[in-house]
Amino acid sequence: MANVNTNFLPADENWKLELKQIKVSTVMVEGAALGIDIVSSTTTGDLDLMPVENASGGDFVGILAEPVAATDSDYATAGKLKLVHVPTSQAAKAWFTVGEGTFTAIDKGKTVQFGSTSIDLDVDTAGKGARITDYISATRGKCQFVMPNSETA
């Protein structure tokens, strides 16, 4: 679990590591945001890469703590378990990388969508993915994932 601080990463003590069931045959990088997998309006019991926002029940669950590679022996195994950083409080903060947009200190408090790869935030696109809490640099900040489905950006 040597996340090089390029994707999402827990930024405080409000997280715990848990083994979670991950979607079968899907490559995922360490630090990817994970949400509830929804297929045909039904949950599958798996976690999958986070869509651009918390919608249709596919809410944020945690941050992948280990990669899933196509060469893994359990890659095509249903019910495989992987370590996931799970928030223990709505106050949990995570480091994030800017995917799209120009990030400045005035973006604090903004609600934005996840990037299409689930490893960053699109800071110029309003959405229900995460709320920006801290500006670190033009490419890095902190956020919280407390966006319920009913909240609007």
Domain map (residue ranges) of the chain? 9-87, 94-144
pTM of the predicted model as reported, rounded to 2 decimal places: 0.89
Judge whether residue 15 has pLDDT over 60.
yes
Tell me: the pLDDT tens digits for 21-53?
999 999 999 999 999 888 877 788 899 999 877
Average pLDDT, integer, range 62-78 = 93
Q: 3-class SS at 106?
A: helix
Average pLDDT of the chain is 88
Residue 90, both tokens: 């709505």
CB–CB of 75/21 below 8 Å?
no
Residue 55 has pLDDT above 90, yes or no: no
CB-based burial of residue 76 (10 Å sphere; 0-12 exposed, 13-18 middle, 19+ buried)?
exposed
85, pLDDT greater than 70:
yes
Task: Identify whether the C-beta of residue 131 lies closer than 8 Å to the C-beta of residue 151.
Answer: no
Whole-number pLDDT of residue 146: 77
Lookup: tokens for 7: 């994707």
Spatial neighbors of 106 by CB under 8 A, at least 6 apart, are: none
Yes or no: say if 89 and 12 are a contact pair by the CB < 8 Å rule: no
Q: pLDDT, tens digit, for every residue of 101-132?
A: 999 999 999 999 999 999 999 999 888 889 99
139 neighbors 97 (Cβ within 8 angstroms): yes
Residue 148 reports pLDDT greater than 80: no
| pLDDT confidence of residue 109 | 94
pLDDT, residue 51, reads 84
Residue 8 has pLDDT above 60, yes or no: yes
Max distance between CA atoms of the chain, in angstroms, equals 46
Tokens 């994970």 label which residue? 34
Contact 31, 64 (CB under 8 A): yes
| C-alpha closest to that of 63 among 153, 151, 144 | 144
What is the pLDDT, as a whole number, of residue 88?
94
